[in-house]
Amino acid sequence: MKTKTNLAILASGNGSNFEAIIKAVKKGYLSIGKCILITDKKDAYVRERAKKYKIKEIFVDPASFKNKKEYEKKLVEIHDKEKIDLIALAGYMKILSPFFVKYFKNKILNIHPSLLPSFSGKDAIENAYNYGCKITGVTVHFVSNAVDSGPIIMQKTVSIEEGMQLDELENKIHKTEHKLYPKAIRLFLKNKLKIEGRRVKII
């Protein structure tokens, strides 16, 4: 009988959040049975991080499929074969279809570098910075059909000090992400999250 959760991390780029999650697993903070990486980018640096930590990584090229539905069917096939219980998006740059979201209902988490619903979508850090915000932050949420709109699990504010440069803010945001995401995943693993409408209750 399986007692630990199997985790798939989907990423498209650098993979710093992937590494933060894996470090939390290695330290025993996250009780994970199996962890795999799935990426849609052949040259994504996150693949190097996976090799470093000896994590199974699978590259699935979207260009090899005739359409998005066929591509996502392949992802489902992999997840089922690996007996995945939880999916964590970590800089995964593809929008998941309603088919995929429904198949893994309430089992997909995402991290976004703003205080949602403000500055959803791409370039959230830069957009908040250019808008002149005094405070921005990080959000971990369940994934729903609309982009960056699922029920919010956790949020953490990040202040934008006078004279702060964009790269300094980006660094501050990423450090916050690396702390917050493992905390949210840990709550899921411990069955501490209960979705009530748009709200996520931590029990």
Place of tokens 């980006």: 170
> Quick check: is 174 catalytic?
no
Three-state secondary-structure class, residue 74: helix
Phi, psi of 186, rounded to the nearest 5 degrees: -60, -40
Q: Which two tokens stand for residue 176?
A: 């916050």
Q: Which of 79, 112, 141, 178 is catalytic?
A: 112
Burial letters for 179-202: b for 16+ Cβ neighbours within 10 Å, e otherwise? ebbbebbebbbeeebeeeeeebee
Q: Round to whole Å and give the CA distance between 35 and 24.
A: 12
Catalytic residue numbers, as ranges: 112
